[in-house]
Amino acid sequence: MSVAAVAADRSVCAPLPVLGRDVRVPLVTGGEVDYAALDYAASAPALQRVWDDVAAYAPYYGSVHRGAGYLSQLSTDLFENSRRTIADFLGCRADDQVVFTRSTTDSLNLLAAALPQDTRVFVFETEHHASLLPWERRADTAVTYLNAPRTPRQAVETLETALAERDPYGPALVCVTGASNVTGELWPVQELAAAAHAHGARIVLDAAQLVPHHPVDLAELDVDWVAFSGHKLYAPFGAGVLAGRADWLRDAAPYLAGGGASRKVSRRTDGGVDVEWQTTAARHEAGSPNVIGAYAIASACKALAEAGFPELIAREQELVDRVTAGLAEVPEVQVLSLFGADASRVGVLSFVVEGWNSSHFAAALSAEYGIGVRDGLFCAHPLVRTLLGSEPQDPGECGAPEAAPGERSLNAIRVSFGVGTPDEHVERFLRAVKELVTNGARWNYRTEDGRCVPDRA
């Protein structure tokens, strides 16, 4: 292939424009650089397309499902059309519901509240806290925590064994991630869904880290529900989605009691009230909805679909390969993995550096190179502790390691990227890692409120 052809090919796979791509940040060593946002797994920058769509709608903002005026009608249409757009994006089945929530965490807590009585939940210890913790909040729900598998096949076998041995045999739910927020590794969702259904269980997919990188089709994956957040999908904060089977949601008490969730409210002769609740998604959407959040998610779905996932995946894989190969050139760097070096992954990698506290290393990347990464336990404490070979009782908090720079601490560094990441950000990151390992930090750092920060005294 000629140089011109290569350049043309790369232009086809160019990143989608995102907000913040031209933001300049100061360096402690002097000067400024373009900020390299490599923390997409925490919150991806909003697509420029999404921001433009939201800005275009803003002057027409009106109440939803509440008014006869033109702006209210327009906003209601926009809100419900956004629901349909997201349903199409997710490959929802005809009788599925799309419920708008605040986030993945909110979506999974909603589903936990909607479980039939005496449901047994099966969840791997490798899950993000959003999908690990909601299930035990009800006294009638029993939770089985499954050990971290070391291969995708082992994950399926572990689940099959646990489901087959459950007693008594009743309603069951499996909760699994699509892509790890720590390692980026892809999980065998279709195989896990088949195992769940073969044993009479349902399955919910935590797609927070999957849906920004790969197409998610409920019907094709054969999952019962999917949950994700807008702020992972290149939309602004504040909105999420729970999509899937309607029956458990329809039969459950409303997640919140209030206007919109109720169809009819009347006084009883004894002085109380009778309530007839909605049976649609509105049942769990009480209060004035976040129409801008819903529209932003729908806009992001359209942008990704129009850009074409095959092209986006191919370019992201180039970046994954480049980062993996670059880190492998530094013997002091250990990349964390459950399934091994050859496992398929999205643009999320976590690592530790020999001789470095991860908070110190991340602080130096930011202060001396203008690179934003994440350090800590990534709200997946059991998984990171397993990967680091530590005992469950070892100390450590998500994003707030207790040890001072240079001391051993239970934390790691995560680099993550996506459709808005230019090549230069990845190249600068790899250069910075090599320079810090070889030459050390050029600045002094101290611990402040549990974090490592430049010492400006």
Among 42-46, 165-169, 261-265, the range scoring the smallest mean pLDDT is 165-169
Quickly count: other Cβ atoms within 10 Å of residue 324's Cβ. 13
Report pLDDT for 447.
Answer: 86
CA distance 152 to 434: 32
pLDDT at 7 over 50: no
Rounded average pLDDT over 14-42? 93
Question: What would the pLDDT profile of 171-189 be if each residue is shown by its tens digit?
Answer: 999 999 999 999 999 999 9
| Cα angle value 216/220/223 (rounded, 5°) | 75
Quickly count: other Cβ atoms within 10 Å of residue 331's Cβ. 8
Q: Which residues are registered as beta bridge partners of 447?
A: 452
Three-state DSSP class for residue 290? coil
* Pairs from 257-265 (Cβ < 8 Å, separation ≥ 24): 257/286, 258/286, 258/287, 259/286, 259/287, 260/65, 260/285, 260/286, 260/287, 260/288, 260/289, 261/285, 261/286, 262/286
Q: Are 41 and 416 in contact (CB under 8 A)?
A: yes
Give residue 10's pLDDT band: very low, low, confident or very high (50, 70, 90).
very low
Report pLDDT for 107.
Answer: 98
204 or 399, which is more confident: 204
Rounded average pLDDT over 196-213? 98
Distance of CA 218 to the CA centre of its chain: 17
Q: Say if pTM beats, i.e. exceeds, 0.85.
A: yes
| Cα angle value 70/76/82 (rounded, 5°) | 135
Report pLDDT for 448.
Answer: 86
Question: What would the pLDDT profile of 391-442 be if each residue is shown by its tens digit?
Answer: 544 444 333 445 444 444 678 999 999 999 999 999 999 999 999 999 999 9
Q: Are 123 and 146 in contact (CB under 8 A)?
A: yes
CA distance 18 to 240: 20
Quickly count: other Cβ atoms within 10 Å of residue 373's Cβ. 24
Report pLDDT for 450.
Answer: 77
Q: Which residues are registered as beta bridge partners of 146?
A: 124
CA distance 26 to 32: 4
CA distance 192 to 194: 5
User: Catalytic residue numbers?
Assistant: 379
User: Which of left, alpha, beta for 91 (phi over 0: left; psi -120 to 50: alpha)?
Assistant: left
CA distances from 45 to 19, 37, 101 (A): 6, 8, 20
